[in-house]
């Protein structure tokens, strides 16, 4: 019992520290939030512009299709980046050695950062959704937000696993590790059909897309918000998300633990990026 209480206190401390970092750099948060809104609004106007070029799809449907992809990708990107850049933040704050020597289980450290990223991502995405809904005067009367939330929660497990695995890159390469994480993120975006159906991809790319949790989360979110699909109707999307989550989250933690031991053995923690 004492061990559990100790780890819970440590988890709360990590979450509080991340909130304090947000408060410390709140001006940059506003800048990046404005950038995300601008990108999302641009996608909405692309959908609206497609209708003016003769697209026969309902304009509200097309705008919503593009906006859902942009907002969901923004959420998953935040989730992925906060976890993947944990090591980079630690280096920047010059606390990485203290954190890694602390008497706290690494899984507690990583999962507490993941929990913070989920809270932050949901809040940020919710604000963006409200803004674009008012801007484009969207009709969300048929949206099933409960089912959408279920898909979002299930998808988060897989992306946390990918983020934890991606966090090893800045650990072993402080100079270029974060950039490689962004490259991997861009590849995931390309294969997952954020702004298009994966049917338009070449056959070999469709096979790769079938391994991406973003593919199923996008399908599920669009079905829930555009068509009002319930949880039973979304089971074909939720099932692979659960399967991928069960594999990716433990795998990400195992990979991080292995690379952490390697970095300590090689003295990489003292390198500053």
What CA–CA distance (Å, rounded) separates 40 from 235?
Answer: 28
Confidence of residue 103 (pLDDT cuts 50, 70, 90): confident
Measured CA distances, 47 to 106, 220, 234 (Å):
44, 20, 25
Confidence of residue 237 (pLDDT cuts 50, 70, 90): very high
pLDDT in tens, 123-176: 998 899 889 888 888 888 888 989 998 998 899 888 888 888 887 877 777 666
Which structure tokens are listed for 8? 């819970």
Confidence of residue 273 (pLDDT cuts 50, 70, 90): very low
pTM for the model stands at: 0.84
Contact 79, 117 (CB under 8 A): yes
pLDDT in tens, 184-222: 777 888 888 888 888 888 999 999 999 889 899 999 999
Q: Which residue has the tokens 């390198």?
A: 271
């Amino acid at each position: 019992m004492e061990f559990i209480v100790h780890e819970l206190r440590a988890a709360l401390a990590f979450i509080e520290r991340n909130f304090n970092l947000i408060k410390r750099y709140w001006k940059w948060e506003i800048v990046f939030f404005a950038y995300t809104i601008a990108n999302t609004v641009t996608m909405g106007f692309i959908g609206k512009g497609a209708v003016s070029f003769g697209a026969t799809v309902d304009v509200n449907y097309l705008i919503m299709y593009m906006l859902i992809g942009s907002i969901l990708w923004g959420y998953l990107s935040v989730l992925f980046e906060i976890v993947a850049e944990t090591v980079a933040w630690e280096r920047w704050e010059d606390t990485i050695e203290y954190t890694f020597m602390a008497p706290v289980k690494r899984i507690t450290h990583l999962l507490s950062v993941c929990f913070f990223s989920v809270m932050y991502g949901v809040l940020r995405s919710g604000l963006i959704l409200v803004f674009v809904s008012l801007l484009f005067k969207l009709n969300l009367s048929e949206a099933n937000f409960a089912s959408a939330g279920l898909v979002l929660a299930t998808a988060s497990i897989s992306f946390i696993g990918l983020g934890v695995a991606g966090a090893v890159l800045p650990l072993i390469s402080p100079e270029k590790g974060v950039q490689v994480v962004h490259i991997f993120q861009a590849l995931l975006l390309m294969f997952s059909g954020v702004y298009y159906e994966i049917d338009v991809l070449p056959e070999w790319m469709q096979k790769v897309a079938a391994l991406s949790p973003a593919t199923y989360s996008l399908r599920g979110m669009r079905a829930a918000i555009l068509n009002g699909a319930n949880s039973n109707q979304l089971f074909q999307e939720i099932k692979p998300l659960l399967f991928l989550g069960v594999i990716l989250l433990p795998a990400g933690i195992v990979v991080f633990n292995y690379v952490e031991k390697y970095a300590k053995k090689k003295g990489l923690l003292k390198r500053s990026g």
